[in-house]
Structure 1
Amino acid sequence: MYLTRIELSHFRSHRRTVVDLDPRPVAIHGPNGAGKTNLIEAVSMLSPGRGLRRAAADEMMRQPEALGWRIGAELRRGEALHEIDTRVEPDHGRAVRIDGKAVPQSALGQLCRVLWLVPSMDRLWIEGADGRRRFLDRVTLSFLPGHAEASLAYEKAMRERNRMLKDQVRDPGWYRAVEAQMADAGADIVAGRAQAVARLSAAQKNAGTSFPVSDLSIDDPEDAPSFSLEALEQSRPRDMAAGRTLVGPHRADLRATYRDKGVPAAQCSTGEQKALLVSLILANARAIRDEIGAPPLLLLDEIAAHLDAGRRAALYDEVEALGAQAWMTGTGAELFVELGDRARHIEVTEVGGISRITG
């Protein structure tokens, strides 16, 4: 699975960018602000959702034109070559076409698997649980594309339940249908997350990686009962007092422990936390490769940060062994010298507010 071509039109700083590719990793270098991350963000939009920056679609329009944006790509998967087109026009939602046919965003998840690691994730283990849940859900989605539908159904039902709680609705009859929807979708979310963690753990076992292995677990708040329809019913008086739902998978947290040291990830050094994240992304990619027969696209933004030369070289070797088309960015070409001709090298510069690429 790899891109043979990608085209950007009026996407952030890229007015018109076309890159032809082969299966090798892509090493992208250039000064800060030149448009490196914008390029790999475009690749992330070949998967469902809001991409690696979690930006609204209109925020990605090149300014000041604000004409909308388009990303076109050719994806090689096995013997098949697929054409992907996704675009946004002013005052319209995002449209997706695969091989000329209009499809929902969820179809992208069935066709193209994309994983990413970006600098904003470096504080994953020491910030709030929201970011760790999003990380866990992205991992789950990479294995189970239907996880997105379960999450949307759960969130929709929870919003309705929270509205009733805030309005102090006390008639149990009003809650039954919406709580049943939450329970069904929530059960799928819980099961999917557990399956994803199990697959990550299996992929880390005996992987021969140069990066530290972590033991993972999914924790609920200490006072939360096991999630079920009955738990929602029993929690209703407490939830009404709080004005929101206090039990369910939206309260879960992902925990990681550095296995060899027995130290929680939150207590590890900055470099160790980065290495643990890299290890999990690589494990995720190996698990996908073993499941579908092809590694996913990897987007590794500013990957050299907090990695010394030895760890960088180890990462490049593991990416090559994985066989993934990994898009890696850094400020200087020297950060990718160990890759040599094993990668496609691209320089991104900015001229008059427009990103340009060479290489």
Structure 2
Amino acid sequence: MAGLYLSQLTLSHFRSHKRAVIDVDARPVAIHGPNGAGKTNILEAVSLLSPGRGLRRSSAEDMTRRPEALGWKITALLHSLHQTHEVEIWSQAGAARQVRIDGKAAPQTALGSIARVLWLIPSMDRLWIEGAEGRRRFLDRMTLSFIPDHAEQSLSYDKAMRERNRLLKDMVREPSWYAALETRMAETGAAIHANRVQALSAIAAAQVQAETAFPTATLELICEMPSEADDLRAALADNRARDLGAGRTLIGPHRADLYGVFAAKNVPAKDCSTGEQKALLVSLILANARALAADFGAPPILLLDEVAAHLDADRRAALYDEITALGAQAWMTGTGPELFAELKDRAQTLEVTETEGASKITQNS
């Protein structure tokens, strides 16, 4: 199988990193160091090699190193399906992010055609017990990993919905003002729903085929909306009076939720223990990675921040076995090297420390 991995990552004035050059091979990358040293900042930089706002969803301005605030730049050598690409991503003085692939300017969405990046970060540990917005974002990241056009469809839907909501708040009742917006919302909304259903089907198939130490999650998309574009357009028109009263659009894929169940116990994910919820998330990321390996032609790059949290030693070892069996380049962080002991020589190690207000990276192997 063709590979997908980074061989070099250069950070310039990005977050806590004034200047860093990381040379690695296709093996997993274990990053250790004290809290606050800048480990997650490395993962965030890698996450920007995929469409979207990255694992922290930060603005370009927030990523610049302080106090200089000169702007920042990331350069990566990305090996993807027997090809090597030079990817440059940068922002100058808080301006919008710019992307260049192999020396040519490109939209962020173009990154989805050459790379797939998945991540699991500590804030996602509360996925099942907090609001639906976080679960929709999690679902859309999975969907985007299979269908890069999902980002464009989501942006188009959101833009049309914002314009429609503005009309609703202004109590505009003239139907002609709504027709074009509702047509666009119906077309993109139906596509978003279909994309999500397709992604969940791929995840379910990957979980059924897996032999893993991590529990299987049964996922269900909860969304009370017509799935066909014509029906959704009619529903939006019929619902205007109710939407006028609320001042916002009350039906559509933006109201969807993801319901998860610990399959072996038939217990809703929200009612599981903290450790079980973490294990379910790991299981879903691994299933997503396995499905992508077949769909894209190579396993995705995995970003696993503080991955050892809430995992006992046996499950930690099982996770590392899964990653290496998959052949994925996983970038993982932890506070100490002992958290990656089970990897042995299957991984390369970076130590991140802080010196005089800047992150320092030492490559140990």
Instruction: Provide the TM-score with structure 1 as the length reference.
Output: 0.98
> Number of aligned pairs?
357
Alignment-mate amino acid for residue 190 of structure 1: H
SS at match of 2:209: coil
Mapped to 2, the partners of 1:91 and 1:39 lie a distance apart of 20
The match for 1:357 is: 361
- What does the per-residue CA deviation read over 1:111-154, in whole Å, with 9 as the maximum and x for residues that have no partner? 11100000000000000000000000000000000000000000
The match for 1:314 is: 318
The match for 1:175 is: 178
Counterparts in 2 of 1:308 and 1:188: CA distance versus 1, 3 Å: same
Does 2:219 align with 1:216? yes
Alignment-mate amino acid for residue 313 of structure 1: A
Alignment-mate amino acid for residue 22 of structure 1: D
Alignment-mate amino acid for residue 81 of structure 1: T
- What does the per-residue CA deviation read over 1:161-188, in whole Å, with 9 as the maximum and x for residues that have no partner? 0011111111111111110010001011
Alignment-mate amino acid for residue 57 of structure 1: A
In the alignment, structure 2 segments of 5+ residues that lack a partner are: none
Equivalence map 1:48-127=2 (5 Å): 48-127=51-130
Indicate which of 35, 45, 70 corresponds to 2:38: 35
Does 2:47 align with 1:44? yes
Alignment-mate amino acid for residue 95 of structure 1: Q
Indicate which of 306, 322, 340 corresponds to 1:336: 340
Deviation at 1:80, TM superposition (A): 1.3
SS at match of 1:228: helix
Alignment-mate amino acid for residue 320 of structure 1: T
Alignment-mate amino acid for residue 97 of structure 1: R
Mapped to 2, the partners of 1:283 and 1:197 lie a distance apart of 10
Alignment-mate amino acid for residue 282 of structure 1: L
**Identity over the aligned pairs, expressed in percent?**
65
Does 2:198 align with 1:195? yes
CA contact (8 A) 1:12 1:62 kept: yes
SS at match of 2:88: strand
Alignment-mate amino acid for residue 169 of structure 1: V
Mapped to 1, the partners of 2:49 and 2:84 lie a distance apart of 15
Alignment-mate amino acid for residue 214 of structure 1: A
The match for 1:281 is: 285
Alignment-mate amino acid for residue 251 of structure 1: R
- What does the per-residue CA deviation read over 1:243-279, in whole Å, with 9 as the maximum and x for residues that have no partner? 0000000000001111100001000000000000000
The match for 2:144 is: 141
Equivalence map 1:251-266=2 (5 Å): 251-266=255-270
Deviation at 1:79, TM superposition (A): 2.2
SS at match of 1:150: helix
CA contact (8 A) 1:225 1:247 kept: no
Deviation at 1:213, TM superposition (A): 0.2
Deviation at 1:78, TM superposition (A): 2.9
Mapped to 2, the partners of 1:93 and 1:27 lie a distance apart of 31
CA contact (8 A) 2:60 2:94 kept: no
CA contact (8 A) 2:61 2:95 kept: no
In the alignment, structure 1 segments of 5+ residues that lack a partner are: none
Counterparts in 2 of 1:225 and 1:107: CA distance versus 1, 3 Å: closer
CA contact (8 A) 2:116 2:145 kept: yes
CA RMSD of aligned residues (A): 1.0
Alignment-mate amino acid for residue 258 of structure 1: F
Mapped to 1, the partners of 2:82 and 2:130 lie a distance apart of 43
- What does the per-residue CA deviation read over 1:273-294, in whole Å, with 9 as the maximum and x for residues that have no partner? 0000000000000001011220
The match for 2:164 is: 161
Deviation at 1:230, TM superposition (A): 1.0
Mapped to 1, the partners of 2:77 and 2:282 lie a distance apart of 27
Counterparts in 2 of 1:304 and 1:91: CA distance versus 1, 3 Å: closer
Mapped to 2, the partners of 1:127 and 1:356 lie a distance apart of 35
Mapped to 2, the partners of 1:160 and 1:39 lie a distance apart of 37
Mapped to 1, the partners of 2:236 and 2:90 lie a distance apart of 40
Mapped to 2, the partners of 1:81 and 1:109 lie a distance apart of 15
Mapped to 2, the partners of 1:242 and 1:109 lie a distance apart of 37
SS at match of 1:85: strand
Mapped to 2, the partners of 1:35 and 1:297 lie a distance apart of 20
Alignment-mate amino acid for residue 18 of structure 2: R
Alignment-mate amino acid for residue 136 of structure 1: L
Deviation at 1:225, TM superposition (A): 6.1
More displaced 10-residue stretch of structure 1: 289-298 or 300-309 = 289-298
Does 2:15 align with 1:20? no
SS at match of 1:41: helix
Alignment-mate amino acid for residue 340 of structure 1: K
Deviation at 1:91, TM superposition (A): 4.4
Mapped to 2, the partners of 1:293 and 1:286 lie a distance apart of 10
CA contact (8 A) 1:303 1:329 kept: yes
Alignment-mate amino acid for residue 176 of structure 1: A
Alignment-mate amino acid for residue 70 of structure 1: K
Mapped to 2, the partners of 1:85 and 1:346 lie a distance apart of 22
Alignment-mate amino acid for residue 338 of structure 2: E
Alignment-mate amino acid for residue 246 of structure 2: A
Which stretches of structure 1, 4 residues or more, deviate above 2 A after TM superposition?
A: 224-227
